[in-house]
Structure 1
Amino acid sequence: MKYWRWPSAAAVLLVSAHASAQSNVLIYGIIDYGLNFVNNAQTAAPGGRTGSHQYAMSSSIMQGNRLGFRGTEDLGGGYQAIFVLENGFDIGTGSLAQGGNLFGRQAYVGLASPYGTVTIGRQYDSAVDYIGPLTGAVGNGTYALHGNDINNFGNTYRVNNAVKFTSNTYNGFKFGGLYSFGGVAGSFGTNSIYSAGASYSNGPWSAAVAYLRARDPNRSFFGNNPNSSATANNLGATSGVQTNPVYGAFASAAYYQVMGAALQYSVQSLIVGFDYSHITFGDLNSPSSGNLALTNPRGYTGNAAFNSYNLFARYAITPFLWLNGSYDYLVGGAIDGKESAKYHMFNASVDYFLSKRTDVYFMANYQIASGVDSTGQPAVASYLTITPSNTPHQVVLRVGMRHRF
């Protein structure tokens, strides 16, 4: 990583030999790319759809691709002005990620102090900040995320127009919260998002809790990118070749809520952990979600709730060779007489580090689904970024390479 030192604005304007503050800008990034094999992916067919093998290249699976700029300026007295601009991209096509946002991963400015940090802009919610590092997706990547990242522990969705506070760490304890202003005249709460979380580390033990609630989530949370729609379902197609059958038909919720907790134990070369989340899509059939014919084609009312349980382990055979595994069980979505769906996800990976910055990896993933999914059809296996299966089963294999700079 390289640091670029820029003189302060005062020094530039006054051509002074003595700068009143010290500024630093760090340029950093991650490039992740690989080849996938999917044994059964939905394809359109006369009278409906079928399933076929699929070979495809894809980005951002072990970690999201990014190019970032992180800056600090020392203001004295323990205070610093800070900023982060972080772009996401697809290396295969060169296109912008996060729905076409130039700095779609993060974009904020703020003030760090002896008491904590306050930032404003497009940011991560508290579930991402506190629980995200203690999940099976660390080491197993995107395909280990619970039910198409239904709880956002994998940071699929960001929060716009947010004010965030993050405390300093006190004897291993840290806490914080975020609030996003909806910006609707005459209604303070419309399109608002808020979250809070805390973490604690003591020796080999780490634990975290978090809460997230989004009002009008189809617009404020799932639909806050340039390519999003103010009226359509921003969770994707729920008929034909599907995009997100796990919870895509619940886009008409008046609110989306996540409560989660995680626990991790690390000893020598072994890491084991567990996380749990309860997810609610509340007050379905909300007119504020958009065109109800598109956001709620099945006319659901009431609440659809899910519970997710995840166990994971990581083991270092050598400092350069890691084995990773996780198991996730997701159940829920029963509503208006529709039964629940159940999803069992098994994930394993081997990760070999060629250097401190570059590694190659192999992933093997298997999923079994049962019951009835959000679209009212027999549940099919579905991974984030992968075309859902046409059956209750799906295998995804990947060989990839990651480089950090």
Structure 2
Amino acid sequence: QSQGRLFGRQAYVGLDSRYGQFLFGRQYTSLFHIMANYSPTAYAVQYEPVVAFAGANLREDNTAKYIGTFGPVTAIAHWSFGTGVALPGTSQGAPSVGGNGEVPGQFRRDSAYGLGAEYAAGPFGVAVAYDQYNPSLSSAAGAFVGTGSFKKATIGASYTLGATAKIMGGYRWGQNKAQDGSTLILRDDFFWIGGNYQVTPALGLTLEYNYDNVKNLLGQTHLANPWQVSFIADYTLSKRTDLYLTTAFSKNAGLNFDTSAISFANGYFLASGQSTMLGVALGVRHKF
């Protein structure tokens, strides 16, 4: 279960052939999917500002997706007929975002689409992706006011150093506009860099730095930009089970960039007057 759904993360069916995969249902966006190999923490279970990076619509209902691999090149594209994302406003004065899915007679409302491509050969990899989400926007009273236009474009690259180390990083451009197509809700630039180091066959270390340059939020242009440093030590017990220690320090936002200008709070709230947060977690993970 996730977000009140029996199958909240993914639930889809599909066909696989030599021409590629065709998938239908609730799925991750093309941007989220293609950039997974360029996240140093691989979208870690703790302290990863993935919503700030990929958007609250990183999983979408009613989605048709294509994935094709042709030698070193992978291509991906998707269309959602109704994303099923409904979230409150992210800051004072911002509209509430999203609806419950498809709306009869309003084809664009709550639709979304995206595409991406990756080239990976030898030690080098690079990927690009674009994502657009057209959410319902509502007033503070809950009245529908129109359909917004939330756009993201990103590029990431990685390089493997021998058999034990890998470095990677990237940039994501973001622009959210209101229903009139001109009023700017948010404009930001998100950056990340980090690496992995395999100390032994069982023990791996990861370090990642994230920074978001919030250029404009509802007309405000001098906001404190959030940043975060994350560290993970992972020890493999078997093919599917591992122990992990993860820690992160954030500035100008809660961990994961929760409570920042551009994300959605998931539980890491900054106290009044607080500008930093430190988190540490120790856990066991079993992959099914």
Q: TM-score scaled to structure 2, two decimals?
A: 0.79
Larger Rg: 1
Query: Which letter maps to 1:275?
Result: G
The separation in 2 between residues aligned to 1:369 and 1:307, in whole angstroms, is 16
Partner of 2:160: 266
Pairing 1:208–2:122 present: no
Q: Distance in 1 between matches of 2:125 and 2:267?
A: 32
Q: How does 1:163-312 map to 2 (within 5 A)?
A: 163-167=64-68, 169-182=69-82, 183-216=102-135, 231=142, 254-267=148-161, 268-283=163-178, 301-312=183-194
| Structure 2 portions without partners, runs of 5+ | 83-101, 254-258
CA distance in 1, matches of 2:241, 2:149: 41
Tell me the amino acid that sits aligned with residue 265 of structure 1.
Answer: Y
Residue identity in the other structure for 1:322 = G
The alignment partner of 2:238 has SS state of coil
- Label 1:120 to 1:157 Cα distance change in 2 as closer, same or farther (>3 A): same
1:383: how far off? 9.1
Distance in 2, matches of 1:195 and 1:202, equals 24
1:274 is aligned with what amino acid?
G
> Where in structure 1 are there 5+ consecutive unaligned residues?
1-95, 220-229, 234-250, 287-300, 371-376
Deviation at 1:303, TM superposition (A): 3.6
Q: 3-state DSSP class of the match of 1:150?
A: helix
User: CA offsets per residue over residues 1-33 of structure 1, 9 Å max, x none?
Assistant: xxxxxxxxxxxxxxxxxxxxxxxxxxxxxxxxx
C-alpha distance 384-350 of structure 1, shift in aligned 2 (>3 A): farther
Give, in whole Å, the separation in 2 of the partners of 1:140 and 1:163.
26
The superposition leaves residues 86-145 of structure 1 with CA deviations (integer Å, 9 ceiling, x where unpaired) of xxxxxxxxxx21x22112211112222221121211111101110122113327544132
Q: Is the 8 A contact 2:36 2:43 kept in 1?
A: no
Deviation of 1:192 (Å): 0.9
Cα pair 1:142 1:384 within 8 Å, conserved: no
The answer for the alignment partner of 2:53 in structure 1 is 151
Checking the alignment, whether the CA contact within 8 Å between 1:145 and 1:384 is kept in structure 2 is no
- Residue in 2 that maps onto 1:320: 202
Q: 2:268 matched to 1:392?
A: no
Measure, in 1, the Cα distance between the counterparts of 2:281 and 2:79.
38
Aligned residue identity for 1:324: T
Residue 302 (structure 1) shift:
2.5
Equivalent residue number for residue 20 of structure 2: 116
**Residue number in structure 1 paired with 2:233:** 350
Q: 1:156 to 1:318 in 2, by over 3 A?
A: farther
Letter in 2 for 1:270: A
- The structural deviation recorded for 1:344 is 1.5
Aligned to 1:26: none
Cα separation, 1, equivalents of 2:268 and 2:147: 24
Distance verdict in 2 for CA 1:361–1:304, change over 3 Å:
same
Q: Which letter maps to 2:184?
A: G
Q: Confirm or deny that 1:162 pairs with 2:63.
A: yes
Structure 1 SS opposite 2:42: helix
Inter-CA distance 253–315: structure 2 relative to 1 (3 Å threshold): farther
How many residues in Structure 1 have an aligned counterpart in Structure 2? 258
Q: Which residue of 2 aligns with 1:103?
A: 7
Q: CA RMSD in A?
A: 3.1
Quick one: distance in 1 between partners of 2:146 and 2:42?
A: 31
Letter of the aligned partner of 2:209 in structure 1?
Y
Q: In structure 2, do the counterparts of structure 1 residues 218 and 323 end up closer, same or farther at CA, with 3 Å as the change threshold? A: farther
Q: In the alignment, residue 100 of structure 1 is paired with which amino acid?
A: G
Can you list the C-alpha shifts for 1:157-199, whole angstroms capped at 9, x where unaligned?
31111111111x2121010211111433333222211010111
Distance 1:214 1:139 in 2: 21
